[in-house]
Chain A
Amino acid sequence: MMTCREVSTVISSGPLAEQPANVRIRAWVHLMMCRHCRRFWRQIRALDRGVRAALRGYEEEMPPDLPKRVADRLSGRGPDEVA
């Protein structure tokens, strides 16, 4: 059976769904029985949600005309035409 250290390392290395089946199943079995690792898993997901929200905040500061400037530049209408 996997140890807490192994399971928590797997969890923080990426989504369980991306793990090979044998690792995923062994991790699930451990998680079913270990509330500490379930808690750690919730921590990781909470952190990810918070980080995603924080990163989305960067989009609000993006100049709204940037996509248009890009398109104009690519179409050869901008100051630095693409060859």
Chain B
Amino acid sequence: MIGPVSTPPDWLTRLRARDPESLQAVAEEHSRRLYRAARGMGLSAEQADDVVQEVFVTFLGSLDRFEGRSSLATWLFGILLRKVQEQRRASARDGQHDELDESWAANFDPSGTWITPPVEPDRALAGQEFADAVRSCLDDLTPQQREVFVLRQFQELAASGVSKILDLTVTHVGVLLHRARLRMRQCLDALGWGTAQ
């Protein structure tokens, strides 16, 4: 049985008609988060500025294919990711194996119980110094770990959304997030921020 023919929502119709107010509203609503993600993924301020513009240009060119089934944010982040990836070559470090897996395993005895239990995070992880440390540690992640880690910081993007954007399975997104967090904890700990053991 054929279902009812769906019509695009009003906002999408207005965007397709290049309604200036709608274009402005979309740019206002999404530019900041896209810029934040682009910077988080390692682009310079200038590159991020360019990429955000290119994301919207591509978005406008692909509006006829956008049916509104995924959220607008997911669609835009998907375009952003492809633009960011175009800016750099894929790293060979994104293999299936990571030496982190072994160092993580070393935290547990053969029965899977903590050998050295975690400690309470002993101070607020905030402020400019911590932000600088985070930015520095993001550079330690592989490109894919970094993409997953940064995208997962946007609460509107669940694992399923990130997996669509990155064209990965939800399980692989989880593995990459796990490795990214371990590497971030190790790095921040080495810089004296005491998030890990």
Q: Point out the residue from B56, B111, B174, B184 that lies within 8 Å of A51, measured CB to CB.
A: B184
User: In the complex, are the beta carbons of B126 and A53 less than 8 A apart?
Assistant: yes
Count of interface residues, chain A, beta-carbon cutoff 8 Å: 48
User: In the complex, are the beta carbons of A43 and B112 less than 8 A apart?
Assistant: no
Give chain A nearest CB distance to B81 CB in angstroms. 16
Count of interface residues, chain B, beta-carbon cutoff 8 Å: 62
Q: Which residue of A lies closest to B115 (CB)?
A: A4
For A15-37 the 0/1 string (1 means CB < 8 A from B) is 00010000000000000000111
User: In the complex, are the beta carbons of A50 and B177 less than 8 A apart?
Assistant: no
Q: Point out the residue from A4, A13, A39, A47 that lies within 8 Å of B178, measured CB to CB.
A: A13
User: In the complex, are the beta carbons of B131 and A53 less than 8 A apart?
Assistant: yes
Give chain B nearest CB distance to A33 CB in angstroms. 12
> At the interface, is chain B mostly helix, strand, loop or mixed?
helix
> Which of chain A's residues have a CB closer than 8 A to the CB of B196?
43
User: In the complex, are the beta carbons of B105 and A5 less than 8 A apart?
Assistant: yes
User: In the complex, are the beta carbons of B121 and A52 less than 8 A apart?
Assistant: no
> Which of chain A's residues have a CB closer than 8 A to the CB of B49?
62-63, 66
User: In the complex, are the beta carbons of B32 and A62 less than 8 A apart?
Assistant: yes
How far is it, in angstroms, between the C-alpha of A58 and the C-alpha of B79 when the chains are bound?
Answer: 20
Known: A46-B121, A70-B31. A13 touches B177 (CB 8 A): yes
Give chain B nearest CB distance to A12 CB in angstroms. 5
Q: Does B117 contact A (CB under 8 A)?
A: yes
Give chain B nearest CB distance to A7 CB in angstroms. 9
> Which of chain A's residues have a CB closer than 8 A to the CB of B47?
none
User: In the complex, are the beta carbons of B18 and A74 less than 8 A apart?
Assistant: yes
> Which of chain B's residues have a CB closer than 8 A to the CB of A82?
57, 60-61
> Which of chain B's residues have a CB closer than 8 A to the CB of A43?
118, 120-121, 185, 195-196
User: In the complex, are the beta carbons of B31 and A47 less than 8 A apart?
Assistant: no
> Which of chain A's residues have a CB closer than 8 A to the CB of B61?
82-83
Interfacial residues of chain B within 165-197, with CB under 8 A of chain A in the complex? 173-175, 177-178, 181-182, 184-185, 188, 195-196
| A interface list, Cβ under 8 A from B | 3-6, 8-9, 12-14, 18, 35-37, 39-40, 42-44, 46-59, 61-63, 66-71, 73-76, 80, 82-83
Given A4-B113, A62-B31, A71-B23, 17 more pairs with CB closer than 8 A = A3-B108, A5-B107, A8-B114, A13-B177, A37-B114, A39-B117, A39-B120, A43-B121, A47-B181, A50-B124, A51-B153, A56-B36, A58-B48, A63-B49, A66-B49, A66-B52, A71-B24
* Cross-chain pairs A/B with CB under 8 angstroms, 19 sampled: A5-B108, A14-B173, A39-B119, A46-B125, A51-B149, A51-B184, A53-B130, A55-B150, A55-B153, A61-B45, A63-B49, A66-B49, A71-B20, A71-B24, A73-B57, A74-B23, A74-B27, A74-B57, A83-B61
